[in-house]
Amino acid sequence: MKIYPVLSPADYKKFIFLPYTIYRNDPMWVPPLRMELKSQFDRRKNPTLDHTVYQLFLLKDNNRVIGRIAAFYDTLANDFWKKDIGLFGYYECPDDPVASGMLMDAATGWLREKGMKCMRGPWSFVSQEWGLVLEGFELPPVIMSPHNPPFYNEHMIAYGCQKVKDLLCYYISGKEGYRIPERILTLTDHVARRYGVTVRRVNMKRYGEDVQHVIDISNHSMLQNWGYAPVTDAEADAMARDLKQVIRPEGVLFAEDRQGKPIGFIIALPDVNTLLKKVNGKLFPLGWLTLLLGLPKLRSYRLFALAVAPEYIGKGIDSLIYRALYESLYTSDIWMEINYVLEDNHPMNNAIAKLNAKPLRRYRIYEKELRTG
């Protein structure tokens, strides 16, 4: 076995498409669209790479690719965090401690040379695809969330990585009889009257303005959240462009104050992964038709984001927006994964418990100190 840095177009292709080999017999894996995978590594299409320095590595055994890893750091994020944090991601490896050690050594060695003081991951070049699945392997991943075999966590521990944060996921199911609790209805009626808050759907005719509202609220309300770094306008525009293809107006809501100023939002994405399983990552010749016809029928969602302006946090606005989403999307067969919540975000986890959502998954992010000398 040998480690090779990815330098040629041929090796880039092998790096990007390796999961299609590794997971081909995994019934839980959802093959992502190949064109979307390629765009993650294209600086013309992924503005996150404008402030990311990275190196990709392949692990080959007799010239057959059996593993991969990306080592990188985000200059804007490190400026914001005020730490020299290296990141690793796109980790794929056979269940072999020697192979795992070689991949991790490649990442740590490169990051150490770049002056990083610690390594954190798994991370990715796209929003919120963080961590390894630790609990909740029984269901396929939802849109924009990771998937891995359980033994990857053993690889991290064996290499000396330690848990730095867990990310929790919950779900609600109409088929299991979910109903929003009556006490939440009473609470949110009071909140709406007290603060004069109303809730509306995203305005697709003024989509750009509503995207800016999401950026403004996020960049003010989430600054203290672990792992968060402010989103650039280019990143927001790229994500808005991509999500516009799948969002439903009834799943993107804004709370507004008496003056009509947005003070919070919630985004629930249709879980297109339920359709992607059928097309094997290919839009052509008929994959596009499967998506086009299937999207309107989807009743599965990922609750992707919820944020409230700092001056309204703790006043029940989050519950008010959730109730509005419930009333907007609820059907007897709805299924929604709340993905994800930081384990130490106690107000949010407590609020979700009061909504009677049930625990579903746990992701784990690891960290390792990079010693010099």
Per-residue confidence in pLDDT tens, the chain, 373 aa: 999 999 999 999 999 999 999 999 999 999 988 888 899 999 999 999 999 999 999 999 998 999 999 999 999 999 999 999 999 999 999 999 999 999 999 999 999 999 999 999 999 998 678 999 999 999 999 998 999 999 999 999 999 999 999 999 999 999 999 999 999 999 999 999 999 999 999 999 999 899 999 999 998 888 888 988 888 888 888 888 888 888 899 999 999 999 999 999 999 999 988 888 877 766 656 666 777 777 888 899 999 999 999 999 999 999 999 999 999 999 999 999 999 999 999 988 998 999 999 999 999 999 999 986 5
Q: Which CATH superfamily is domain 2-167 in?
A: Gcn5-related N-acetyltransferase (GNAT) (3.40.630.30)
The whole-angstrom separation of Cα 64 and Cα 58 is 10
Per the CB < 8 A criterion, the answer to whether 238 and 47 are in contact is: yes
d(CA 300, CA 285) in angstroms, rounded, equals 25
As given in the structure block, the two tokens for residue 46 are 């992924």
Q: Compute the distance between CA of residue 361 and CA of residue 137 in angstroms, rounded to an integer.
A: 8
CA pseudo-torsion sign 146, 150, 152, 158 = positive
Give how far the C-alpha of residue 331 lies from the chain's centroid of Cα atoms, to the nearest Å.
25
At a CB cut-off of 8 Å and minimum separation 6, what does 218 contact? 231, 305, 307
Q: How many Å separate Cα 272 from the centre of its chain?
A: 14
Give 17-25 contacts, CB < 8 A, sequence gap 24+. 18/65, 18/67, 18/68, 18/92, 19/92, 20/281, 21/65, 22/92, 23/147
pLDDT of residue 285: 62
pLDDT of amino acid 286: 60
Of 33, 21, 20, 16, nearest to 281 by C-alpha is 33
Strands 300-308 and 335-342: parallel
For 298, the token pair is: 């989807």
In this prediction, residue 3 carries a pLDDT of 98
Amino acid at 367: E
Neighbours of 187 (CB within 10 A): 16
User: Token digits for 126?
Assistant: 């796209």
Q: Which pLDDT score is estimated for 262? A: 97
Do 83 and 115 form a contact (C-beta atoms < 8 A)?
Answer: no
Distance CA 175, CA 159 (A): 42
Can you identify the CATH homologous superfamily of domain 172-362?
A: Gcn5-related N-acetyltransferase (GNAT) (3.40.630.30)
Q: What is the pLDDT of residue 294?
A: 77
* pLDDT of 230: 85
pLDDT at position 35 is 86
* From-to residues of CATH 3.40.630.30 in the chain: 2-167, 172-362
Spatial distance between the Cα atoms of 336 and 174, rounded to a whole number of angstroms:
9
Give pLDDT, residue 77: 94
Contact yes or no for 367/164 (Cβ under 8 A): yes
